[in-house]
Each structure stands twice: as C-alpha cells, then as structure tokens.
Structure 1
Amino acid sequence: MPFASAPTTIASITSQSDAAAFRTLNEEWISRLFTLEEEDRAVLEDPFGHVVGPGGDVLLAHEPHSGTAVGCVALLAYPDGVFELAKMAVAPAAQGRGIGRRLVTAAIDRARELGGTRLFLGTNSKLAPAIHLYKDAGFVTITRDRLPVVDYYARADTLMELR
C-alpha cells in the first residue's frame, strides 16, 4: 500500500512532543502570513495550561507509519458551553489530502463531547481554502458583535460560527 494512501490518525494531545508539534505547525503558517500575537504565544507555549486545563482540547493528526504530526486544531473553552475552533494547521507537505477536513469534523465532534453548545472561529480572508472548508462543515459568517469575547485577534477579519 502506498504511504500517501494510509490514513492519518487523529487523537488528543498527550505529551510534550505533541505540544511541540502543535507549536511548530502553527508558528510556521502564522509567522509566514501574519505576525505572532501575544495570545498566540501563550497558547502555543503551553497548550496544556491554556487549552486543556480550562476544559478544551488539542487534536493532532499523525502519520500512521512515522507518527509524525502533520496537522492540528485546538478547542478553546469558554463559559456556558462555548468553544472556539482555533490554531488549525496542516503541514504544507500534507495539504490536499483531506487532513484539514478530518480535523474540522473531529473538532466539531469533540466540542460536542465536551458539552459544547456553540462553536465559533476567527480566520482571515487570505485563507480562502480554510474558509471554504469551514463553510462546507456548516459554519456561517457572523459579525464581530456576535463574538463571545471582547479582545480578539487583529488578523481575524472573517468570523464564523457553527449553527
């Protein structure tokens, strides 16, 4: 069986090596396209403290043969069953294989498992493939006043929520 046809596995973060992969995958695309903000640094440097501890999760997609993390997504927990889908990344070499789609589906399912009643995200209009992926998953565009948070990423010019 060719290596590329073997499916990736998606699982919750469990180790410091998972945390390092989460940080590396996100720093690559954020630094290439935007500027790392203070909130980015806090979440990426300590996903156990900033994501998992408060009731969220980080999901990682791993190659089955090598165990290499090739994608990730975070679910940040807010009060009243609200979650943010954040920090989604797929390694450039692994893009185009459906990993992002599988991560979004897994994140939606995991948010429900965690008791989520609302799921939102912020992205940027430069990321058209991601926006298309979110729309396919059922997310709709919302206005900034619909956000459950006051201070939000400067780069987030497209806000969405799953209905």
Structure 2
Amino acid sequence: MLSQPASDDASHAPIEIVSYRPALAEAFWRLNVQWLERYFQLEEVDRVMLADPEHHVLAPGGELLFACRAGHAVGTCALLKAGEGVFELAKMCVDERCQGQGIGRRLLAAAIETFHRRGGRELFLESNSRLTTALRLYEAAGFVRQDGPRPGSHYRRADVYMIYRPTR
C-alpha cells in the first residue's frame, strides 16, 4: 500500500512530510534496509530498531518523519531521544529512485524544526565518510564534524560524528 508509486504522474506529485503512523512501519523497514544494503550491511542495532520503531524510537520520546508522495513513503528519518533535550538524527534515507529531488533536504529541515519545537539543546548524528553527498547536506544545514567517531557509538560503520550548531 505504501510502496513506491509506479506511474510517472505520481513521480511529479508534491512531497508531504508526515509523522509516523502504524501503516508506515513497513516503509521505515523497507527504505532503511534498501539504503543500508546498498552501502553497508544491516547491523543488529538496525534490525532491532527497524523491527519495532514504536518501541525503540517513539516510546522513549523520539519521532519518526516520512516524506510521502501521492500517499507513498519515499523517504524517512528518526529523531532518537538520547537524553533530556538531546536527540540523535538517525535512519535518514530516501528511496534510491527518488534521490536528487530535494527530498532529503526537506526531511532534514523537518527534523531540525521538530528538534527546535521540542526544545532540544543538542542534536547529533553519526555517518560514514563514504557518504559525501549526505555529509555535504548535513554541513549545509549546520552540522559540524567532530574529531573522530562518537565515543560509544552503536554502529560499526560510523566513522563521522557531527553536532548541529544552529545559526538562528
């Protein structure tokens, strides 16, 4: 029901950023597995979170956002609550057939807006140095690279640690 639309007409429909609802759980899994298997390997921490986002993202106080086109999820990201006022931007991905259309930028802007609306004081992310396009997007949005990976990282693939430094 929420898979990528096949028609060309749907590919020109506007993007809507929406919050999680149970019908989007499959899309959260599908989009992330597609992305992770393209660039890396699915790690156990990924399997656990993707299998039950309501328990591992929402219940602890996080948020899930989706970019939808014509009612179909084409991108997603998570704000994981890491502490009081501290959030991790995670699981951000866009369907490979929809990349290069500004969807990631829209998702990132919505995540940052959600972070501010929630009164966040620190926002960080972990990534990989191979993902140069994503890293440029994060830097343009105000994320600053830190020296070395995040201490205590949950991800084997993470070799980049960035902290959001808002300009507003």
TM-score normalised to the size of structure 1?
Answer: 0.90
Distance 2:77 2:20 in 1: 10
User: Which position in structure 1 is the counterpart of 2:94?
Assistant: 90
Give the structure 2 partner of residue 159 of structure 1.
Answer: 161
CA distance in 2, matches of 1:3, 1:44: 27
**Which aligned pairs between 1:29-68 and structure 2 lie closer than 5 A?**
29-63=35-69, 65=70, 67-68=71-72
For the residue of structure 2 that corresponds to 1:150, the secondary structure is coil
Indicate which of 4, 26, 34 corresponds to 1:28: 34
Q: Does 1:132 align with 2:139?
A: no
Q: Percent identity?
A: 48
Give the gaps of 5 or more residues in structure 2. 1-8
- 1:28 and 1:3 mapped to 2: Cα distance? 21
Give the total of aligned pairs: 157
TM-score by length of 2: 0.88
Which of 13, 24, 27 is the equivalent residue of 2:20? 13
Contact 2:89 2:123 in 1 (8 A): yes
- String of CA shifts for 1:11-51, please: whole Å, max 9, x gaps: 11011x20110110000111121111111111100111000
Q: Distance in 1 between matches of 2:142 and 2:128?
A: 17
Give the superposition deviation at 1:3.
Answer: 4.5
One-letter amino acid of the structure 1 residue matched with residue 78 of structure 2: A
Aligned-partner residue type, residue 98 of structure 1: G
What is the root-mean-square deviation in Å for CA atoms of aligned residues? 1.5
Please state how far the C-alpha of 1:116 moved relative to its aligned partner: 1.1
State the distance in 2 between where 1:132 and 1:141 align: 11
2:114 counterpart residue number: 110
* Separation in 1, partners of 2:28, 2:161: 23
1:151 Cα deviation (Å)? 3.6
Amino acid at match of 1:69: A
Q: Give the residue type in structure 2 aligned to 1:85.
A: L
